[in-house]
């Protein structure tokens, strides 16, 4: 049994039993991967998958257990390699980040630029997805950035980075453009809204806020990307409701920026790290750059399981963005 065979086995499971896709995932040939799978099954003495002809149909019950153990073995091997690289002071490698389009476009650029200056040999693989899909990539990522309205994300070690609010964006001709204050939910409910995809979910913070006021929002359009929301705001299709990080006076000077109703709750952006993962120094550096209120030594001790998490109150985005600009 070899690590290569275990890696191929996990790739098959993660590719929904598609041998061709699994081979592409691990940069192997399809015949080579199939041969390694057969050798592993021969050594174990039983089949890991049920078959229909030459195709894999499902994971056998024994295969489920073997794959679980294979994932643990591969994770520990990766941890040993990361620990050794940190000990050697080796600063080359790949940093894989899973996050939303808004974080990727408006939060991460200066952070990644700073990490690239400090660790020029590190390559960054940025995977932007919808809010609901980000944590699904955590098993392959070094860390994921996701926002909630206060609840702690599940699936890994969650580290609070910063707090932010939503704002309204409207053209000068919009009825709300003349307001010198945040509109009430009742006032906002009279106008079509354009917001993120998650805003249509019944359990979203936006829907809960409107329901609490007895108002039904008019969600005219949704999009994953803040720039798309702005495009349709400029087209006159509604008022944009989006993260404050995605709005700048320079880039959006042709639009009016209005505070959102206070009943729409504040959000927290979290870094979620797979439990038991040993982070490379450059990944730890990125976390500290995004959350300077965290002590690197405390952060490492918590991640290594040597200290209980007791995170300080995360700063507001306005405060953090000012420190980024310095």
Q: Give per-residue pLDDT as tens, 261-297.
A: 999 999 999 999 887 777 888 888 898 889 888 888 8
Residues 254, 177, single domain; the answer is yes
Q: Last residue of some domain: 204, 231, 259?
A: 259
Q: Last residue of some domain: 86, 118, 147?
A: 86
Residues 148, 12, single domain; the answer is no
Residues 106, 74, single domain; the answer is no
Residues 120, 97, single domain; the answer is yes
CA distances (Å), origin 275, targets 156, 179, 218, 281, 310: 5, 47, 40, 17, 17
Residues 134, 210, single domain; the answer is no
Number of Cβ atoms within 10 Å of the Cβ of 59: 18
CATH of the domain at 140: 3.40.190.10
Q: In whole numbers, what is the pLDDT of the chain averaged over residues? A: 89
Q: Give per-residue pLDDT as tens, 173-183.
A: 999 998 989 99
CATH of the domain at 23: 1.10.10.10
Residues 99, 153, single domain; the answer is yes
- Our count of domains for the chain comes to 3
E strand residue ranges, 245-314: 255-259, 267-273
Q: Higher confidence at residue 141 or residue 258?
A: 258
Strands ordered across the beta sheet of 239-243: 218-223, 192-196, 239-243, 166-171, 255-259
Residues 156, 271, single domain; the answer is yes
Residues 254, 110, single domain; the answer is no
Q: Give per-residue pLDDT as tens, 71-125.
A: 888 877 877 876 787 677 777 788 889 999 999 999 999 999 999 998 888 889 9
Q: Last residue of some domain: 86, 106, 140?
A: 86
Residues 275, 222, single domain; the answer is no
Residues 140, 282, single domain; the answer is yes
Confidence of residue 324 (pLDDT cuts 50, 70, 90): low
Torsions phi, psi of 288, nearest 5?
-65, -35
- Domain coverage including residue 300: 92-160+267-325
What are the helix (H) ranges across the chain?
A: 3-14, 19-25, 30-44, 61-88, 101-102, 108-118, 185-188, 205-212, 226-234, 281-290, 296-303, 317-325
Q: Give per-residue pLDDT as tens, 190-219.
A: 999 999 988 888 889 999 999 999 999 999
For residue 132, is it left (φ>0), alpha (ψ between -120 and 50) or beta?
alpha
- Residue 193's closest CA among 249, 260, 265? 260
Residues 155, 277, single domain; the answer is yes
């Amino acid at each position: 049994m070899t690590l290569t065979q275990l890696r191929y086995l996990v790739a098959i499971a993660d590719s929904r039993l598609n041998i061709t896709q699994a081979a592409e995932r691990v940069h192997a040939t399809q015949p080579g991967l199939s041969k390694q799978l057969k050798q592993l099954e021969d050594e174990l003495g039983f089949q890991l998958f049920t078959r229909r002809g030459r195709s894999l149909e499902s994971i056998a019950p024994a295969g489920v257990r073997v794959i679980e153990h294979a994932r643990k073995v591969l994770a520990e091997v990766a941890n040993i390699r990361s620990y050794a690289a940190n000990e050697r002071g080796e600063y080359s490698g790949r940093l894989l980040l899973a996050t939303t389009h808004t974080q990727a476009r408006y939060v991460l650029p200066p952070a990644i630029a700073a990490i690239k200056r400090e660790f020029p040999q590190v390559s960054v693989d940025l995977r932007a997805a919808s809010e609901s899909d980000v944590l699904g990539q955590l098993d392959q990522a070094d860390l994921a950035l996701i926002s909630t309205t206060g609840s702690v994300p599940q699936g890994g070690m969650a580290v609070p980075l910063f707090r932010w609010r939503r704002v309204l964006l409207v053209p000068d001709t919009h009825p709300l453009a003349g307001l010198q204050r945040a509109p009430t939910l009742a006032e906002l409910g009279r106008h079509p809204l354009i917001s993120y995809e998650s805003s249509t979910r019944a359990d979203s913070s936006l829907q809960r806020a409107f329901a609490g006021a007895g108002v039904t929002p008019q969600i005219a359009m949704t999009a994953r990307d803040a720039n798309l929301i702005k495009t349709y705001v400029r087209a006159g299709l509604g008022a944009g409701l989006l993260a404050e990080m995605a709005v700048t006076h320079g880039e959006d000077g042709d639009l009016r920026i209005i505070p959102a109703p206070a009943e729409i709750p504040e959000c927290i952006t979290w870094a979620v790290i797979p439990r038991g993962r040993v982070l490379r120094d450059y990944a730890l550096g990125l976390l500290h750059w995004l959350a300077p209120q965290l002590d690197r030594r405390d952060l490492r001790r918590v991640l290594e399981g040597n200290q209980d998490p007791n995170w300080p109150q995360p700063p507001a985005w306005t405060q953090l963005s000012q420190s980024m600009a310095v």
